[in-house]
Amino acid sequence: MTMNKNTVLAWATFIMIFVGVGMIALGAFKYDEVAGYGFGAVGVGFFAIAWVFNALKGRV
């Protein structure tokens, strides 16, 4: 299996979404204090980076 640039970006997008969901879940369910907001913000940041990776598919 050869991995071209679009396959690499697709895998990176999937991993970033997976980690982003995990970070938001940590912020929502584990931490009730201010740290939960930080985890949620980082999770949203992972979603933003995954969106950029997805937009780059076919253009790089």
d(CA 48, CA 40): 13
* pLDDT digits 0-9 by tens, 15-33: 999 999 999 999 999 988 8
Q: Taking 80 as the threshold, does the pLDDT of residue 35 lie above it? A: yes
58: alpha, beta or left? (left if phi > 0; alpha if psi -120 to 50)? left
Mean confidence (pLDDT) of the chain: 90
* pLDDT digits 0-9 by tens, 45-54: 999 999 998 8
Residue with tokens 């969901």: 21
Q: Taking 90 as the threshold, does the pLDDT of residue 41 lie above it? A: yes
Q: Taking 80 as the threshold, does the pLDDT of residue 14 lie above it? A: yes
